Structure 1
Amino acid sequence: MEAHPSHAELSHVLPKYPKTAGSLLQTYNDLKLAQQWEALEVLDVPSCARGAVKGRRPNTEDTLFVVPCSLAESLNISWFHQAFHDLGKPPHVYLAINADDSNIVYYKLSPGIVKPAV
């Protein structure tokens, strides 16, 4: 993993959370290379024992937060509350669920009950 070009941007978080390092690397590279997000920053989220990614979609001004996880992980409501708290209580967070075959599904999570757009 150290030979990968993205390792330098992730090196301050990867050694702290080896169980979630693969999900973080995969998500970071998808956002940077495939989706071409701008101003990417890797954040440490110690209460969730992982790193997260902060950045913007191309040609937008909104800062978004993405928390990677594995499809095999079990998450709970208190975990989500901690993630929102540690990230500064943004209006929503994207959960990047990584599968073993390198697929990533992004879910938009909002705190509380939110009425869907019509």
Structure 2
Amino acid sequence: MEIHPSYPALASVVERYPAHGGPLFQTYNDILLAQQWRDVVVVDLGELCKRGAIKGKRPKTATDAESVLYIVPCSLAESISMAWIKDVFTALADPPSIYLAVASDDSSIVYYKLSSGIVKPSV
């Protein structure tokens, strides 16, 4: 991982939370290189969540591509709780929603959109 061109952007967070470095590395490269998001930045969620997140904007599309979105990587083998999800929203200053990126060992990632509170689904 250390010799990959994207590592310098991840280094400080990966060194601080090495147990979560793999999913962060995998998700960061998917968002930046495969999905081609813009203004991609790694965010340290601090001691409350003990991991990094990714902040960025989707490529320009017909939808609201200018809004900043947050992706929180985790491993498929990890157990997460509602309290932990609440801590993530708190660490990110309560955005309307986040994407949970569940990364597996075979390099696949599934993204789940989680909203703060009760949100009426779009029609």
Q: If the TM-score is normalised by the length of the shorter chain, which range does it land in?
A: over 0.9
Q: What CA distance in whole angstroms lies between the structure 1 residues aligned with 2:71 and 2:56?
A: 8
- 1:117 positional shift: 1.6
Deviations 1:37-68 (A, max 9, x none): 00001000121111000000011211000000
Structure 2 counterpart of 1:77: 82
- Distance, in Å, in 2 between the alignment partners of 1:93 and 1:80 is 10
Q: How does 1:1-118 map to 2 (within 5 A)?
A: 1-46=1-46, 47-59=48-60, 60-118=65-123
CA distance in 1, matches of 2:13, 2:105: 21
- CA–CA distance in structure 1, aligned partners of residues 33 and 41 of structure 2: 14
Deviation at 1:115, TM superposition (A): 2.1
Tell me, in whole angstroms, the C-alpha distance in 2 between the residues paired with 1:17 and 1:61: 30
Gaps of 5+ in 1: none
Q: Runs in 1 of length 4+ with deviation above 3 angstroms?
A: none
Percent identity for Structure 1 against Structure 2? 55
CA RMSD of superposed structures (Å): 0.7
Unaligned 5+ segments in structure 2 are none
